[in-house]
Chain A
Amino acid sequence: MNFAFSEEQEQLRDAVRKFLEAKSPESEVRTLMETTDGYDPAVWSQMAKELGLQSLHIPEAYGGQGFSWVELGIVLEEMGRALLCAPYFSTVVLAANAILNAGTDEQKAELLPGIASGETIATLAFTEPNGKWDASGITMEASGSGDAVTLTGEKMFVIDGHSVELIVVVARQAGTSGEDGIGFYTVAGDAAGLTRTALATMDQTRKQAKLEFSNVAATPLGAAGSGWAALSKTLDQAAVGLCNEMAGGAQFVLEESVQYAKDRVQFGRPIGSFQAIKHKCADMLLEVESAKSAAYYASWCAAEDNDELPVVASLAKAYCSDAYFHSAAENIQIHGGIGFTWEHNAHLYFKRAKSSEILLGDATYHRELLAQRIGI
């Protein structure tokens, strides 16, 4: 039994942190968040070529390095800390895992090397205007049979949906409901009949799009109609990845709050000497450390692909969502007036915390899912 990272894993963390400090400082985040695509292709390419981040957990057979979810978690934690603006979550966490879970060996060999090398950016189009995260939210139907399939309908809140080259779409066979008849389909970003509209996101550091499909030709990914298990697993894995990202952001806002509490003087003394502020910081530390424990443990479950994963994914998603939002909100309060300004970075983390809480289902959703999963 051992609940700590290895030296090699700490070295990976250091390398990623240094890279992001250089390539994704606050000034760069602010520049990119004002753009529509929301990322710098040059940095994306360096991430792949210099650090191999896109290929990290993809198996070697498909052009990856074959590391585990523990390493992927470390990278995501650092990206959350730096508020990296890049299609990493959509490409590596959502799309690559959907392909790994749903695709045939042949399809994995065709689609994954491009993602691993950084050449292909991709996403998973799953949610619809109903905003649901469970099977009942999937209403888009796939028409046709065999390889001659077309998709018609609307996908919403699709992360980086307007800028990616490859879209993995979740749809259902006509006449099915619930977890039956779910299938994955791949569509090119520039496919005929597909209209993509960028959304004005509350969190400008993570882009979303509306995708309207009108008889768009699509290729089935894996077996049609039996995709729910693969989708459920993809969502659990993605939740684990997101928890690590949230833990990184939460740790950063804690550090910001503590530093400000030491520096800011009112009534002739640092505000951190007042219990009202000190106790807020102490509670933040407790929540942030707990969020990290949950996220790291969940990474291990994902790495092992064990039976605990569904329970731990929901548990961690519920806790980390609340912990990050609470920490980001307290960070504004501790900073006082300056924390409410556009120039200060507190709002960037506050908004990222809120968007991450919503993404993949909020804490209320996951507590109910957890209750079902543990048999309450």
Chain B
Amino acid sequence: METRPGGQVRSRSPMDFRDSPEEAAFRDEVRAWLDEHLTAEFRAIGGRGGPADEADWDLRLEWERLLGKDRWVGLSWPEEYGGRAASFAEHVIFSEEYAKADAPARMSFFGEGLFSPTLLAYGTEDQKRRYLPKIQSVEELWCQGYSEPDAGSDLSNVATRAELDGDEWVVNGQKVWTTLAHRAQWCFAVVRTDPTSTGHKGLSYLLVPMDQPGIEVRPLHQMTGTAEFNEVFFSDARTAKENVLGEVNDGWKVAMATLGFERGTAFLSQQLAFQRELAGIVEVAQVNGKASDATIRQELADSYIGVQIMKYNGLRMLTDLVRKGVLGPSSSIGKLYWSNWHRTLGERAMYVMGTDASVVAGEPGGEYSLDELHRIFMFSRSETIYAGASEIQRNIIGERVLGLPREPR
């Protein structure tokens, strides 16, 4: 360090996107593991599926359990709960190497990605010991019971209620847009436990086992022709008294913490998947000649800019997270950004296809079936709606990041 005229202090630029020696060693470890375990059978389903996709389910489940066995599930959990206490940089490295290796799409998004950080923040010691190991071993998958027919953007209007009956909660009501409910063993649900309450108050964050007579799951057919989402009906469904995360009637803040994780941390693997989708669309444009069209070139370059900045934003946000320890409402910026970017990519994919876009993959008169580009085009319409619609994200950014006054209600 050397002081210069003007009081400036000399130091090496600490902003650095390269691996430190420890990070490089971790990268080698990830690579070596993937190299050893990603056998031909698993390579064959590389990149396929997604958190809401059921392609090659059993094989992917087998793969996910291999990951769990060697603690790549729960990577960032503290070591006392079986994790590797990975830093955010290590998380980034893992995601990068995983994508580079074209390993199968992950399936523990709801349990590992959303529920486990909420559990670590609000769970009792007993709850952590009960649930984390089975998320890691992929014996238990989770689903998210938030939205209801009358509680969409206004999530606090939840009407599903739970009443104590001796040592058990009895749950009645309906949830909707519940991804993978038919596959999950558990549901983390926002329910009304104070029947006299309205709005944010009187809600609890309840953990409900899915395999019981009081729960019926019905698939919800979407505009894509597929059914990644479900409706879940609770009719005297039961769960043990202790299965509440946080305090009874104080579940709103717990539910919001989960939404923060949903809006923020998922960007890692997502950004890499988006890069891949864009590369695929560029390839189509190069093959069909659209890549020489000046407007298409502008649009593809713009999408490239967007997906790169998504990465820079994410890395900045995570650096900030490490410094401040909490993922604040700024996670809304990420959700608003990626969902809009992806929706635009889907629209551009159709321009690239040109007239070919008027025909989809299925047989005439048969099941409605989409190829990859049509799937992006259509599925992305859900992304500016779920996990808080873009309009809700703008309200959160306006009020909680910029400090603008609330809408009078």
Contacting residues, chain A, for B406 (C-beta < 8 A):
273
Q: Are B319 and A4 in contact (CB under 8 A)?
A: yes
Contacting residues, chain B, for A367 (C-beta < 8 A):
297-298, 301-302, 305
B210 to chain A, nearest CB (A): 37
From 213 to 251 in chain A, residues with beta carbon under 8 angstroms from any chain B beta carbon are none
For the complex, give the distance between the alpha carbons of A66 and B13 in Å: 12
Q: Are B401 and A1 in contact (CB under 8 A)?
A: no
For the complex, give the distance between the alpha carbons of A299 and B312 in Å: 12
Q: Are B13 and A300 in contact (CB under 8 A)?
A: yes
A41 to chain B, nearest CB (A): 19
For the complex, give the distance between the alpha carbons of A299 and B7 in Å: 22
Interface assignment of B336: CB less than 8 Å from any CB of chain A: yes
Interface assignment of B248: CB less than 8 Å from any CB of chain A: no
Question: Which of A71, A258, A262, A315 is the one whose CB lies under 8 Å from B308?
Answer: A315
Interface assignment of A115: CB less than 8 Å from any CB of chain B: no
For the complex, give the distance between the alpha carbons of A294 and B408 in Å: 37
From 110 to 131 in chain A, residues with beta carbon under 8 angstroms from any chain B beta carbon are none
What string of 1s and 0s marks CB contacts (under 8 Å) between B1-43 and chain A?
0001111111101111111100100000000000000000000
Q: Are A262 and B404 in contact (CB under 8 A)?
A: yes
Given A1-B92, A297-B312, A371-B301: A269 and B408 interface contact (C-beta under 8 Å): yes
What string of 1s and 0s marks CB contacts (under 8 Å) between A295-330 and chain B?
011011001000000001001001100000000000
Q: Are A3 and B17 in contact (CB under 8 A)?
A: yes
B349 to chain A, nearest CB (A): 15
B402 to chain A, nearest CB (A): 5
Question: Which of A258, A292, A303, A364 is the one whose CB lies under 8 Å from B13?
Answer: A303
Interface assignment of A370: CB less than 8 Å from any CB of chain B: yes
Interface assignment of B361: CB less than 8 Å from any CB of chain A: no
Q: Are A370 and B305 in contact (CB under 8 A)?
A: yes
Q: Are A293 and B404 in contact (CB under 8 A)?
A: no
Contacting residues, chain A, for B312 (C-beta < 8 A):
3, 290, 293-294, 296-297
Q: Are A293 and B313 in contact (CB under 8 A)?
A: yes
Q: Are A282 and B17 in contact (CB under 8 A)?
A: no
Q: Are A272 and B305 in contact (CB under 8 A)?
A: no
Interface assignment of B316: CB less than 8 Å from any CB of chain A: yes
Interface assignment of B282: CB less than 8 Å from any CB of chain A: yes
Interface assignment of B393: CB less than 8 Å from any CB of chain A: yes
B74 to chain A, nearest CB (A): 21
CB-CB nearest in chain A for B407: A273
Question: Which of A270, A274, A282, A303 is the one whose CB lies under 8 Å from B336?
Answer: A282
Q: Are A286 and B336 in contact (CB under 8 A)?
A: yes
Q: Are B404 and A12 in contact (CB under 8 A)?
A: no
Q: Are A368 and B309 in contact (CB under 8 A)?
A: no
A271 to chain B, nearest CB (A): 9
Interface assignment of B394: CB less than 8 Å from any CB of chain A: yes
Q: Are B4 and A65 in contact (CB under 8 A)?
A: yes
Question: Which of B20, B298, B309, B391 is the one whose CB lies under 8 Å from A364?
Answer: B298
What string of 1s and 0s marks CB contacts (under 8 Å) between A1-37 and chain B?
1111110110110010000000000000000000000
Contacting residues, chain A, for B17 (C-beta < 8 A):
1, 3, 297, 300
Contacting residues, chain B, for A269 (C-beta < 8 A):
405, 408
CB-CB nearest in chain B for A315: B305
Contacting residues, chain B, for A12 (C-beta < 8 A):
8
B279 to chain A, nearest CB (A): 10
Q: Are B8 and A65 in contact (CB under 8 A)?
A: yes
Contacting residues, chain B, for A166 (C-beta < 8 A):
none
Interface assignment of A347: CB less than 8 Å from any CB of chain B: no
Contacting residues, chain B, for A49 (C-beta < 8 A):
5
For the complex, give the distance between the alpha carbons of A248 and B312 in Å: 17
For the complex, give the distance between the alpha carbons of A49 and B316 in Å: 34
Q: Are B394 and A278 in contact (CB under 8 A)?
A: yes
Q: Are B394 and A1 in contact (CB under 8 A)?
A: no
Interface assignment of B323: CB less than 8 Å from any CB of chain A: yes
For the complex, give the distance between the alpha carbons of A236 and B391 in Å: 37
Contacting residues, chain B, for A286 (C-beta < 8 A):
333, 336-337, 397
A103 to chain B, nearest CB (A): 24
Q: Are A272 and B405 in contact (CB under 8 A)?
A: yes
Q: Are B300 and A282 in contact (CB under 8 A)?
A: no
Interface assignment of A70: CB less than 8 Å from any CB of chain B: yes
For the complex, give the distance between the alpha carbons of A296 and B393 in Å: 25
For the complex, give the distance between the alpha carbons of A372 and B302 in Å: 13
Question: Which of B6, B282, B305 is the one whose CB lies under 8 Å from A51?
Answer: B6
Interface assignment of A59: CB less than 8 Å from any CB of chain B: no
Interface assignment of A374: CB less than 8 Å from any CB of chain B: yes
Q: Are B309 and A290 in contact (CB under 8 A)?
A: yes
B298 to chain A, nearest CB (A): 5
Which A residues are closer than 8 A to B by beta carbons? 1-6, 8-9, 11-12, 15, 49-52, 65-68, 70-71, 258, 261-262, 269-270, 272-275, 277-279, 281-283, 285-286, 289-290, 292-294, 296-297, 299-300, 303, 312, 315, 318-319, 364, 367-368, 370-371, 374, 376
A-B contact pairs, 6 of them (CB 8 A): A2-B16, A3-B316, A15-B6, A51-B8, A273-B405, A296-B316
Question: Top 9 nearest A-B pairs by Cβ distance?
Answer: A278-B398, A293-B312, A272-B404, A282-B397, A282-B394, A367-B301, A273-B405, A1-B89, A6-B14
Instruction: Give 15 A-B pairs besides A15-B6, A319-B309, A376-B300 with Cβ atoms closer than 8 angstroms.
Output: A1-B17, A2-B15, A2-B319, A5-B15, A269-B408, A273-B404, A273-B406, A275-B395, A278-B398, A282-B393, A282-B397, A286-B397, A290-B313, A294-B308, A318-B305
